[in-house]
Structure 1
Amino acid sequence: MGPLEIIRESRKHAQATQKKQAESFERLGILGDFAHPYLTLSRGFVVDQLKVFGRLFERGLIHRQEKPVYWSCENATALAEGELEYHEHVSRAAYVKFPVVRLSGALREWVEKAGDGLRGGREGDKLREGDNLNGGDKLSEGDLPENDKLNKHDKLCGGNLHEHDKLNEHDELSEGKLSEGNPTEENKSTHQLEPISALVWTSTPWTLASNRAICINENLKYTLVESDEDGMMIVASSCLDAVRQLKPGLRELGVEFAGCDILGSRYVNPLVGGGAGATETVGSPTEMPFLHGSHVTAGTGTGLVHTAPGHGQDDYLVCRRHGIAPYSPVDARGRFTADLPGPLRDMAGLKVLTRGNDRMIDRVRSLGMCFHVDNHYVHSYPYDWRSKKPVVIRATPQWFIDVSQIKARTIDALTGRVKFCPPRGLRRLTSFIANRDEWCISRQRSWGVPIPVLYRRDTGEPLMSSGVIARAAEVIAAEDVDAWFAPEDGAAMARWLPAGFTGDPAQYTKGRDTMDVWFDSGSSWTVVRDYLRREGILDQAVSRGYLADVYLEGSDQHRGWFQSSVLTAVGSWDPEKVEKGGLEKSNILEKSNILEKSNILDKPIILDKPIISDGSPNLESSTTSTNLEKSTSNLQSSTTLTNLEKSTSNSEKSTSTNLEKSTSPYTANKLTSTSPPVSSTKIALPTLPYHNVITHGFTLDEKGDKMSKSLGNTIAPAEILDGNKQRGIPALGVDGLRLWVSQSDYSSDVTVGPTVLGHVAENLKKFRFTFRFMLGNLHGFGGSAHRDPAADPLGGYAGDPLGGYAGDPLGGYTLDPLDRYTLSRLQALEQTASQCYREYNFARVVKETNFFVNNVLSALYFDIKKDCLYTDAVDSPRRLATQAVLAEVLRTLVSVLGPILPMLAQEVWTASPAFLTRGVASPFIAGWHPVPTAYRRPDLEADFTRLLALRDRIRALTDTATRRDRAVRNSLETAAYVTADPEGKLFAFLKKYNSYLADYLLVSRFVLNGQPPAHARYDYRDAHADIAGLGHCSISLVPSDRLKCPRCWKFTREEGTELCGRCQHVVDRRGRMQVEG
């Protein structure tokens, strides 16, 4: 399939998938303008993304470089760190010996010292300083590669080579001196040295073909070991025990020296044909250096690190400082290419992670380089998040964003202006950004937004300018992105070139790389910006410093969307170029900076000059420009940026002039292009894409195991919505799924399974029953139409100190203490829920609502108020007050639970009386219902804490009577006699609520300081009950001395009557009303 066919098929698939996702979102009760979604494939989005890219280019943040990148062999494309997953991986790791052929003076002394105890008449190959393995060549100044020369005033102190390990004829090597072509006295020594190897460890043996150096740490201690099979080897002292376990017969030679003593020595790689007298071929230098690397640690391997700059980030950075180019004979599918050195070319076509790796180990063995192979080395290894296959690292030319210039400002903005939920998200996101200097944004795919660059057909040199970027945006805005990928040549290419370009358009072709998908999603803040602009509120957003209130995604997006969004926003911000509304205005239509190649590593020549008639850049005076000569790296920092922005690692700094002039075979001469550097401007506050970042975990099964199709433990959302009887999953519907999510601590991984979902079903059922109870008991209630205008505006009860206030929705109802207590707890719930929603703490909303429903409503208010609701007159002040409280509770719970249970909330709203809905069709249109703060009664809540303590004491006695002794069927058969000190606090407290306590304690009669019957059928006692710090009392639970009323079931009927006094009054009044009616 060609690019255009791939694009069309991909577009069809994306549109079909988007339609299904929209349908799923709507079914899940998610509010959104699904008729007008923003899509990254839309023409307007692509154009906005190109404009963001253009601003990044203008700010000097875009550059092209050949360097190692993560590479998906399955999809044949580069990957960013955000596209990786790390899994346990089994590799074949190898310990490999590289023959050392030239010794520094310091290392020679240590080898001689160790060798004194080994010779014992044993004849060995001569290995003198400056000699190769054959011992026939003498070292002269001209024999040393340029990078190994020292300036004449430098000294070797303990073997510590300065900067680039360069040697000069006047520098001292141990006790002897090198002279131009003449052997030193040391060279004339008759001492014969033992052959010596550098022992390295690698978990990627297939990269040994690309070896270009061995890294040591000059601050570590090293030693020499020896065995009959392997000869003498260099190993870090800290790794000696681990190495000895591989071969117990290994012998220490009793010397220890600093890593810096090794610097200046040289070794060969027999795999690529290196060795004494070998001729150098392309890709296989004869002798290679030892280099200092700060990434070499004492903890693993041997303390000597095989270094392949084409296959490792640390390797590349170290070698770059020494002018050693990356070399990567691996193709896009992860196979060895014919660019392998001659002795290895029979491996061409083999997959490097499988057969190629095995073949390389076999070759290591056949050459006598193998010390040990670990066939089952388990370690964490990067995988492609799409293909789920292991990746490789290979050097290819790619486009990058220079994050080092903007990361300090980005971290400052995140730290001071963005809220994270959970808070640890800030540390995670900023640590990723702080440890990142570059972002590889080019991908080798046809589906995506193209990187707007043209290449010369003859040389492959890139042409990127503000004008080229602007033209690409203009053409795509008119014709869609397909136009970029359509084949064009000759004069047709003129439309992609900026005005004023006088060269031959036929000399150029369009690039085929597309942008990283995280650049796509990371540009989505432009949609919010455009929406705010259309609504006329962009100025407000800029003033507050952010566009969207919330970004919500999984914890993996700290490396993805969260990061790419803020990097593109901060990177494209320029305080000197702002339009109305405070957002940067791009001038990519006006500038025409042309990018060309320089012959100096990482020193691009960036022209701001017109193009001459032949289409070549006008190079007049450019190579002598003072600024260009001083510009040693495209990673330079603005002088006004913070220390972190100025501070790039040593590995990122440019090399010296000597390096740039070096003729060493390792010197890179690759194409490296970049955009103009960031100019020094004042620090300003960029408009951030978000104000809150919410991170959720991932779904695990009930055992806490990761869900996997192979394990058969996955649960699809549809199974939760519709149920699965075979798996024991109840049908929860949309509300059940949302309730499970909301009640979970989403800041960590969340478990789900039949048991968990069963609890959710019970919880949902409880909410439904609670609403049904309230709706049923509001039947016939008219709200304010039933108020008593003569009543206290706040109701009140004997001793209630609370006065009324204007506008009280419950004014005119006679509320008792339990009503007031329930409203106080309701107000606390509403305030807590409101705050929790603002903090995105949905689990606490569910927890607090559960507690209120179960403990305040069901177990207390409903349990007690059923009596008056079912048996009082429909117009009794007590019943009306209870209904008014129920209405307030229902309206509040609809607000509190509506965001979590929208279907149930709408259903309740539709069934609610008209005085509550007031003609509004939906609770989500009506908005949040605040409970008046005057309802909050901390003093009353404290009182009910004590009353409930007394209730618990009496309930314990009732349980004994009903469950153990079967003497009582329910508590209404009993009377409670409580005796307290008449002068104490407890007596005064109980007297205050005396008239309500029979109802609140669910007994038929409550007697304070009365004498219980002497000959009661039973008498359950608690002689020393402590009531919440008010004092002690004695409780006696005895049978009621009255009869059961068949209407209300209370034992309050007098002998000789059919009903209790209350019920008789209700019945008689109803009868009179019917007669009168």
Structure 2
Amino acid sequence: MCADTTTAPDYKDTVFLPETDFPMRAGLPQREPEWLDRWARIGIYDRLREKAAGRPPFTLHDGPPYANGHLHIGHALNKILKDFIVRSQQMLGRDARYVPGWDCHGLPIEWKIEEQYRAKGLNKDDVDVVAFRQECRKFAEGWIDIQREEFKRLGVTGNWADPYLTMDFHAEAVIADEFMKFLMNGTLYQGSKPVMWSPVEKTALAEAEVEYHDHTSHQIWVKFPVVAAGAFPDAEACLHTEALAASVVIWTTTPWTIPQNRAVAYSPEIAYGLYRVEAVAENSSAKVGETVILADMLAEGIFKSARVEGFARVRGVSAGELGGLVLAHPFRGLEGSAGEWDFDVPMLPGDHVTEDAGTGFVHTAPSHGDDDYQLGLKFNLPMTYNVLEDGSYRPDLPIFGGQVIITPEGKEGPANVEVIKALARSGALLAKGKLKHSYPHSWRSKAPLIYRNTPQWFVAIDALLNDGMGEHGDTIRARALRSIEELVKFTPVSGRNRLHSMMEARPDWVLSRQRAWGVPLTCFVKKGAKPTDPDFLLKDPAVNARITAAFEENGADVWYVQGFKDQILQGLHDPSDYEQIYDVLDVWFDSGSTHAFVLRDRPDGSADGLADLYLEGTDQHRGWFHSSMLQACGTKGRAPYRGVLTHGFTLDEKGMKMSKSLGNTVAPQQVIDEYGADILRLWVAQSDFTVDLRIGKEILKGTADSYRRLRNTMRYMLGALSGFTDAERVAPAEMPELERWVLHRLAELDTEVRRGYAAYDFQGVFQKLFTFCTSDLSAFYFDIRKDALYCDGPASLRRRAARTVMDLVFHRLTTWLAPILVFTMEDVWLSRFPGADSSVHLLDIPETPADWRDEPLAAKWATIRQVRRAVTAALEVQRTAKVIGASLEAAPVVHVAEPEVLAALKSVNFAEICITSDLQLTGDPEPTEAFRLPEVPGVGVVFERAEGEKCERCWQYLPDVGSHAHPGTCARCNQVLG
């Protein structure tokens, strides 16, 4: 602030410049681990629990990640959002507990162990199941330790010393006990129906374990010959003359299901016709003169695919006629079929049949599709068991025995092609081709899936429950829908409709998996009994209690120890009368049960066993949110959560899905190593997490720039507050208007920040605070008050008021931003308030007096700032033209048309506000040469130079400079120097 001159003393040491050791460069990658060590040393999380005793609780229940690999950017997004919430709720006055957890059972971990076995040339099935399970446990333990440190490195607070694990003995005991509640309430049953099946992993998969990718399938058009008209008179007419040789044509993209066909479905709402082929192209499979029945809307496209060049519509075919037709299976009488397909194929009406694609008829294999299965139930169609667990046909199936649909490597086997060849030999193939479409794949092996009929264990979600928990409904589905409609708050609200529509349409819950690593289905079935028999399942509370106790003591591995059945049933039932079930529970049942062994059972859970919030990615509407809802509605009578928050997926900067093969992944550790975890956290805060989020080098550069600007604001305050004590404080009523305006802004922001944090609107909170720091403080308030802070005397009311306000701003900004920038705000706080046990994270957001709000004052200063913009813009023109070097060289004349605005400007020191040495306000009309800013109408600025000499201490140009005891100073500076 001091000029270099030989005619006046150097006053540099007399100016109160900001003093701080807070570094301009953050050095986050190197310094953040120091804060982590410090927090661990002083026991921040435990101290917060002690401090919060008696407060209203807030429980965010952690959705457990799988313990099987390093964290990806989606993990970081999820955990950082959770940390924002836990920390902000704590600082808002709640007892915000956070117990991190891990999902430890299931296919992802088991698959890793199997890969290790295959690499060594070993077969999992040759290993003792308990030994195998122990290897899975050890694998999970190793990754839990790694992931725990990676999560902590993100600055996430929580009970890391005692997380929950689904493989803990108590957890396994509770999961089994929760399963046995379904056993006892009558909703558990064994059924044989088609489920999504992975031939590679040899197990059923849950919907949440399925992902859809483009896949090229065979598509075929197949003729089912009409062999009889049944009992319908109208159908007899259809069989006269050329129609007697007619065929009904179906279309499918799964040729391998044709051997399992047991019906053809039609729609009474579709118009059908009988068509005759009149001309065909070379290599067409169609024959001139043959007749086929098709949906009228689709006929032209079908004939084009069949290379038919001429055709005629003979007449329409009514639903009544179709309902009376009896068809032959296309393999009837085929050489080598051994009579396997010599049965009649009925025509059946189906609501699922449309004319959107295909032929208007649907080939129906009840064992290999849900619509097919439902139609089979309705009309008592037989189920088939032709496809084995490895995706091959049973060895004794004629013609196709042993053929593989999906190979162990996840590739297409020969089954589809062999079926197509057999159709061609039988004369039933009208056309064939290839189709690229979205197709289900295993999220683990990435291999295509099939629908396969297999005995599985289900929970009936529409079964009536007499469990005394019917307040919200008498079935699991009813309770779930009521919970979604009335008991749960969704953020964003679109999540409500998504989960509701899924729950409305979902089938019964498939619980069983044919794997080894998991909690077993702890039940016994009567030997020789059928699943429909009343005594098929052993339902005995005493047996259940023994199982739970055994799991509590030794974990679920004991289920697989020789003699366990005898031990459990001895003295209660004859063990030889029962068979033990060895399937394991779907891991979604494990994670769906976490509310019981975390929220209900832990001392740091919740009093009512409910969570205030579940927070996961939007895919968990069909995953954890879904399974937790089903599980709790069966055992608690309602949803286990009061709130659900969902976030989007992470994409690269171009909006592309991240993929290692594309090389566009962003690893959390990579960002931390370059920028620090606070930059990653700031990226989350600046993003709209309710939609998909983009991240990449340029985005992170922008985030780092925002961070630097914010850090500079905090650094300036630290410097300006150096040596501040309570003795300097000024009461709000004694402060100048500018300071009272800042207090008004703090009161406004306090309301907005609290409301934003309560609504989980972190983007809104940060944007408001960032704008306040950069626009209200750095570009306005700090800019104006530098002169008073640097050059006024320590006893000056203006300077004391400014430092008082800055202290109040400091306490609020550090706590408002602490949930987001955990490391930086700790650094800022300790730079001012060092102490062995000090931490900003032990504080609450300070209460802000409501009487700081002053709307009339705020309106007045909004006007003042608007006019100031016109003045600074006018001076910038002169600076650009090099007429002046600094605004203090100016003394502009400001013409103001509105009397009210002019009065407001005259009531303050407007020259000080505009950082000019002098300034004249006038209501006279603007001269032609006046500078005008279009967005500030009624204001014109005429540039004038300031009169007088430059004060060598404050740099203002004033007429009195040089007339005081201290050479080269103005009156104010002379007085300060004494």
Using the size of structure 2 for normalisation, the TM-score is 0.80
Partners of 1:891 and 1:207 in 2: how far apart? 69
- Mapped pair 1:472 → 2:535: no
Partners of 1:956 and 1:487 in 2: how far apart? 87
1:736 and 1:760 in contact (8 A); partners too: yes
Partners of 1:232 and 1:293 in 2: how far apart? 24
- Mapped pair 1:870 → 2:778: no
Aligned residue for 2:905? 990
> Displacement, 1:345?
2.8
Partners of 1:76 and 1:350 in 2: how far apart? 11
Partners of 1:984 and 1:347 in 2: how far apart? 93
- Mapped pair 1:486 → 2:555: no
Q: Which amino acid aligns with 2:910?
A: L
Check 1:57–1:380 CA distance in 2 against 1; reply closer, same or farther (3 A cut): same
Aligned-residue sequence identity (percent) comes to 33
> Displacement, 1:21?
1.5
Deviations 1:946-999 (Å, cap 9, x if unpaired)? 112211111221122111x22111211110212446x93233222222xx2111
Partners of 2:530 and 2:396 in 1: how far apart? 20
- Mapped pair 1:262 → 2:322: yes
> Displacement, 1:264?
2.6
- Mapped pair 1:519 → 2:594: no
Check 1:473–1:1024 CA distance in 2 against 1; reply closer, same or farther (3 A cut): closer
Q: Which amino acid aligns with 1:837?
A: Y
Q: Which amino acid aligns with 1:255?
A: R
Check 1:106–1:1002 CA distance in 2 against 1; reply closer, same or farther (3 A cut): farther
Partners of 2:247 and 2:935 in 1: how far apart? 85
Partners of 1:1059 and 1:944 in 2: how far apart? 38
| Aligned residue runs from structure 1 range 609-648, under 5 A | none
Deviations 1:709-743 (Å, cap 9, x if unpaired)? 110111100010002xxxxxxxx211111111121
Partners of 2:405 and 2:951 in 1: how far apart? 96
Check 1:225–1:356 CA distance in 2 against 1; reply closer, same or farther (3 A cut): same
Partners of 1:895 and 1:1066 in 2: how far apart? 37
> Displacement, 1:111?
2.9
> Displacement, 1:57?
2.4
Aligned residue for 2:392? 335
Partners of 1:67 and 1:474 in 2: how far apart? 34
Q: Which amino acid aligns with 1:869?
A: L
Bigger helix share: 2
Partners of 2:611 and 2:651 in 1: how far apart? 30
Partners of 1:774 and 1:350 in 2: how far apart? 66
Q: Which amino acid aligns with 1:986?
A: V
Which of 984, 1000, 1021 in structure 1 is aligned with 2:913? 1000
Which of 619, 628, 650 in structure 2 is aligned with 1:556? 619
Check 1:1066–1:398 CA distance in 2 against 1; reply closer, same or farther (3 A cut): same
- Say which SS state the counterpart of residue 321 (structure 1) adopts: helix
Partners of 1:112 and 1:349 in 2: how far apart? 37
Partners of 1:456 and 1:58 in 2: how far apart? 16
Partners of 2:404 and 2:480 in 1: how far apart? 45
Check 1:43–1:250 CA distance in 2 against 1; reply closer, same or farther (3 A cut): farther
- Mapped pair 1:929 → 2:819: no
Check 1:531–1:861 CA distance in 2 against 1; reply closer, same or farther (3 A cut): farther
Which runs of 5 or more residues in structure 1 are unaligned? 119-192, 574-685, 724-731, 796-813, 1014-1018, 1073-1077
Partners of 2:924 and 2:330 in 1: how far apart? 108
1:697 and 1:748 in contact (8 A); partners too: yes
Which runs of 5 or more residues in structure 2 are unaligned? 1-126, 279-285, 463-474
Which of 948, 954, 961 in structure 2 is aligned with 1:1042? 948
Which structure ranks higher in relative contact order (CA pairs < 8 Å, sequence separation ≥ 6)?
Answer: 2
| Aligned residue runs from structure 1 range 947-958, under 5 A | 947-958=864-875
Paired residues in the alignment total 821
- Say which SS state the counterpart of residue 805 (structure 2) adopts: helix
- Say which SS state the counterpart of residue 139 (structure 2) adopts: helix
Deviations 1:91-118 (Å, cap 9, x if unpaired)? 11111111111124455455357x4xx6
Partners of 1:998 and 1:350 in 2: how far apart? 81
- Say which SS state the counterpart of residue 437 (structure 2) adopts: strand
Deviations 1:600-625 (Å, cap 9, x if unpaired)? xxxxxxxxxxxxxxxxxxxxxxxxxx
- Say which SS state the counterpart of residue 198 (structure 1) adopts: strand
- Mapped pair 1:101 → 2:21: no
2:599 and 2:606 in contact (8 A); partners too: no
> Displacement, 1:932?
1.7
Q: Which amino acid aligns with 2:899?
A: G
- Mapped pair 1:741 → 2:741: no
- Mapped pair 1:373 → 2:432: yes
Deviations 1:584-640 (Å, cap 9, x if unpaired)? xxxxxxxxxxxxxxxxxxxxxxxxxxxxxxxxxxxxxxxxxxxxxxxxxxxxxxxxx
Check 1:563–1:407 CA distance in 2 against 1; reply closer, same or farther (3 A cut): same
1:977 and 1:1011 in contact (8 A); partners too: no
> Displacement, 1:471?
3.0
Check 1:463–1:199 CA distance in 2 against 1; reply closer, same or farther (3 A cut): same
- Mapped pair 1:752 → 2:690: no
Check 1:866–1:350 CA distance in 2 against 1; reply closer, same or farther (3 A cut): closer
- Mapped pair 1:359 → 2:412: no
Check 1:774–1:227 CA distance in 2 against 1; reply closer, same or farther (3 A cut): same
- Mapped pair 1:1022 → 2:942: no
| Aligned residue runs from structure 1 range 336-485, under 5 A | 336-340=393-397, 342-345=398-401, 347=403, 351=407, 353-375=412-434, 377-404=435-462, 405-455=475-525, 463-467=537-541, 468-485=543-560
- Say which SS state the counterpart of residue 399 (structure 1) adopts: strand
> Displacement, 1:58?
2.4
| Aligned residue runs from structure 1 range 976-987, under 5 A | 976-980=892-896, 984-987=899-902
- Say which SS state the counterpart of residue 344 (structure 1) adopts: coil
Q: Which amino acid aligns with 1:549?
A: D
2:203 and 2:515 in contact (8 A); partners too: yes
Check 1:80–1:831 CA distance in 2 against 1; reply closer, same or farther (3 A cut): same
Aligned residue for 1:578? none
Aligned residue for 2:739? 819
| Aligned residue runs from structure 1 range 881-960, under 5 A | 881-913=801-833, 921-960=838-877
Partners of 1:11 and 1:889 in 2: how far apart? 51
Check 1:485–1:500 CA distance in 2 against 1; reply closer, same or farther (3 A cut): closer
Partners of 1:42 and 1:536 in 2: how far apart? 16
Using the size of structure 1 for normalisation, the TM-score is 0.73
- Say which SS state the counterpart of residue 310 (structure 1) adopts: coil
Aligned residue for 1:14? 140
Aligned residue for 2:661? 710
Q: Which amino acid aligns with 1:22?
A: R
Aligned residue for 1:222? 272
Which of 165, 182, 201 in structure 2 is aligned with 1:75? 201
Aligned residue for 1:530? 600
1:310 and 1:328 in contact (8 A); partners too: yes
- Say which SS state the counterpart of residue 949 (structure 2) adopts: coil
Aligned residue for 1:197? 247
| Aligned residue runs from structure 1 range 1052-1071, under 5 A | 1052-1054=958-960, 1056-1057=962-963
Q: Which amino acid aligns with 2:457?
A: W
Check 1:102–1:1038 CA distance in 2 against 1; reply closer, same or farther (3 A cut): same
- Say which SS state the counterpart of residue 362 (structure 1) adopts: helix
> Displacement, 1:307?
0.6
Aligned residue for 2:362? 305
Deviations 1:3-44 (Å, cap 9, x if unpaired)? 112200100011111111111121111111111111100111
Q: Give the number of the structure whose alpha-carbon radius of gyration is greater.
A: 1
Check 1:1025–1:518 CA distance in 2 against 1; reply closer, same or farther (3 A cut): closer
Q: Which amino acid aligns with 2:659?
A: S
Partners of 1:97 and 1:787 in 2: how far apart? 93
Q: Which amino acid aligns with 1:240?
A: A
- Say which SS state the counterpart of residue 950 (structure 2) adopts: coil
Check 1:409–1:688 CA distance in 2 against 1; reply closer, same or farther (3 A cut): closer
Which of 695, 718, 721 in structure 1 is aligned with 2:672? 721
2:526 and 2:579 in contact (8 A); partners too: yes
Partners of 1:449 and 1:823 in 2: how far apart? 59
1:528 and 1:547 in contact (8 A); partners too: no
- Say which SS state the counterpart of residue 1038 (structure 1) adopts: coil
Aligned residue for 1:663? none
Partners of 1:360 and 1:536 in 2: how far apart? 57
> Displacement, 1:1053?
4.9
1:872 and 1:1063 in contact (8 A); partners too: no
